[in-house]
Structure 1
């Protein structure tokens, strides 16, 4: 993620300096920045999932703390929903990857399949992690409310 952000920032900075300082620019910097931004977002989303860093409304589950069966049922429902969302995202991303294989970006000429590919990979990894959490019976982390200011 840091490498994507560094390259993206450098490309945009150079392009801004060239446009406003010299009246020209690098057309490839926009395509490169867009591609790196998409990859950075999905790498970040994938890295955040196992740490429990995605947005969660744990306050809605706090009343279930003293009812372990209800909390387990809700945990399974949440993880199954994550798994379903990953399947839908992976299916749509795969279709876009297939369509993108036959076209190229305008300036840099990379395959347009590289844009939806991180969504596919992220969905597969997060879905696999959710499936592992279901089989292991891992509990939800309800301690996020302690981190709020």
Structure 2
């Protein structure tokens, strides 16, 4: 079901948006304070760079997770739209696309998991957080998108070819 501009976003999506807004706000504040300290007083806070990097990684993957169910990821809709008048071929293409998404998510999750395991034994230089926190959002994002793709495949959800695109 497509959400219109007048319908409110679901609570998980609002939660992710709020999380991303907090990450962005903290990052902007930290970077601003560090710039003022460096150029105004010749000093700085080393932890701002590490924390900003960590928050940026989490924000990006949270955004990717929130974008999938909304159909906001990049897509080659013009290629698929050529099949819209052939329902059986369109169903097969949809299933293939969903399977490719699941495979890609599996590969990303496997690689991210390996990095999480490696990161469990080390800590960041300044803040001393476990470096497993850097690849963890990639793992969570891959699992989340993979589960959504499996659910769409099982339910037979048609591809969202909206966005007002036309075949060129």
**Coarse TM-score class (shorter-chain normalised):** over 0.9
CA distance in 1, matches of 2:104, 2:72: 17
The yes-or-no answer on 1:93 pairing with 2:112 is: yes
In structure 2, runs of 5+ residues without a counterpart are: 1-19
CA distance in 1, matches of 2:128, 2:96: 43
Contact preservation (8 Å) 2:122, 2:131: yes
> 1:146: Cα distance to partner?
4.2
In structure 1, runs of 5+ residues without a counterpart are: none
Q: Of 61, 86, 95, which aligns to 1:42?
A: 61
Residues 30-85 of structure 1, C-alpha deviation per residue, up to 9 Å, x if partnerless? 00000000000000000000010001111111111110011111111111010000
Structure-1-length-normalised TM-score: 0.96
- Write out aligned runs for 1:1-149 (5 A): 1-146=20-165
Structure-2-length-normalised TM-score: 0.86
User: More helix per residue: 1 or 2?
Assistant: 1
Structure 1's consecutive aligned runs of 4 or more residues displaced over 4 angstroms after TM superposition are none
RMSD (Å) for aligned C-alpha atoms:
1.0
CA distance in 2, matches of 1:138, 1:39: 29
